[in-house]
Structure 1
Amino acid sequence: MIRDTIKAAQVASMKAGDKPRLAAVRLILAKIKDRDIELRTAASVPEDDVLVVDVLQKMAKQRRESITLYEQGGRQELADIEKAELAVIEEFLPARLSEDDVRAIIVALIAETGAAGMKDMGKVVGALKARHGTEVDMAAASALVKAALSA
């Protein structure tokens, strides 16, 4: 489980005295705990790894946006801190599928769902997210689906 890997990384960072990495790992664990608390009242709770990957993906997206904004604002030192946190977050994310693999999956899903045009984009994106949500960057995948359906 990814959660156990993150906890082991926390212990390893403590033992190594790696304060920046430890801070990032603690931040990840805090966000996961927040999500656990949020879901206490939910009717259905997602599988643990799915939940952790979702939290990690959101954190990575936030870091990428922050890096862009800091660099535009001329705050390179803050951008470097965010880049270090992003590197730690990405260590725990599962491997992403290549763009060619995603295109092949999209073509198969279009055939499977019988999508004919842009009005069926939601069906294809929904099926892609359900099956490969943790392995695919959904923003890039949506653009690929749009291109495939409009071709």
Structure 2
Amino acid sequence: MENLKARLREDMKKHLKAGNRVELMTVRNLLGEINTREKGGKTPMEMDDAAVTSLLQKEAARRRETAQTYSEVGAEDRAAAENSEAGIIEAYLPAPLDAAAVQGIIDDALDTLREEGNELSMRSMGQVMKLVSAEVSGRFDGKKVSEMVRSSLA
């Protein structure tokens, strides 16, 4: 399976050939941001898919917030452009999970820890969160996951 950066690069070429200006500009900006993060700072580093996914989530959220601001001041055309970019970015993100699916993942993690002979209490929060976060990362709000784990342990 190809990684997210490679997919973005391939899509940039496709959009360039197809003449999709908005998609091309959006993907090009994302790749520029990734490049800046990788080469900026004291030591260059390679972003993995998890880091790229996190960046894409932030970029999509930023565009949605900007669109909201434009809507509030009556600049609907600019709001639509921001929402369009956010939609393009969100297409690269993993499908979001619903609360029921997350609860199922939490229950599986609790069962796994019990099978390993762990006595579960609020002190087990870190262990449970580690297992759950690995599966839901980027697909559900972390704060809500934490609350759900806490209530499951209580």
Please tell me the TM-score bracket, short chain as reference: 0.7 to 0.9
Distance 1:19 1:95, change over 3 A: same
**Deviation (angstroms), 1:127:** 4.3
SS of the aligned residue for 1:103 comes to helix
Distance of 1:38 and 1:127 partners within structure 2: 32
The one of 120, 134, 149 equivalent to 2:138 is 134
**Deviation (angstroms), 1:145:** 3.9
Q: Which runs of 5+ in 2 are unaligned?
A: none
SS of the aligned residue for 2:96 comes to coil
Distance of 1:13 and 1:86 partners within structure 2: 16
Give the residue type in structure 1 aligned to 2:81.
Answer: I
Distance of 1:114 and 1:61 partners within structure 2: 39
Distance of 2:147 and 2:76 partners within structure 1: 30
Question: 8 Å contact 1:115–1:123 — kept in the other structure?
Answer: no
- Between structure 1 and structure 2, the one with the greater Rg is 2
Alignment of structure 1 residues 50-69 onto 2, 5 Å: 50-69=50-69
Q: Which runs of 5+ in 1 are unaligned?
A: none
Alignment of structure 1 residues 76-91 onto 2, 5 Å: 76-91=76-91
Alignment of structure 1 residues 2-151 onto 2, 5 Å: 2-38=4-40, 41=43, 48-109=48-109, 112=113, 116-117=121-122, 124-145=128-149, 148=152
Give the aligned CA root-mean-square deviation in angstroms.
Answer: 2.9
Question: 8 Å contact 2:67–2:79 — kept in the other structure?
Answer: yes
Distance 1:46 1:108, change over 3 A: farther
87-96 or 72-81, which moves further after superposition?
Answer: 72-81
Higher helix share: 1
Give the residue type in structure 1 aligned to 2:35.
Answer: K
